[in-house]
Amino acid sequence: MLSNMREKLYEFQQASVDENSARKNVAWIMENRQDLVDSYPNRWVAVDLEVVQCVNIDFQEVMQIMEGRGALTGSMVFYFSNLFRVPMILQLCNATTPEIIS
């Protein structure tokens, strides 16, 4: 029973860390939006640890590449690099399903 409680506490702490890291990634995207659009126009950009991890025109390709690297994390966010639209930023829920966060 105690080990089950520890596991739940660890999951909760990890989710909190992921959420804080995702917020930092979103803030980093917003601060660097013009540079990202200049470098990667109309491309999906995977960002984790405030660093561009992968870029591709096809969202599914970005997902497959990151999954192949074993690098999909709860803190990773995906940004469609374009200034002409409201910023589209997605975060993975349970490391499988994207969720719109901005």
Q: What is the pLDDT of residues 38-70, one digit of tens each?
A: 999 999 999 999 999 999 999 999 999 999 998
Domain boundaries, the chain: 2-100
Q: Output the pLDDT for position 7.
A: 64
Q: What is the pLDDT of residues 1-46, one digit of tens each?
A: 656 656 655 455 555 668 889 999 999 999 999 999 999 999 999 9
Q: SS in 3 state form for 39-69?
A: HCCCCEEEEECCEEEEEECCHHHHHHHHHHC
Task: Output the pTM of the full model.
Answer: 0.76
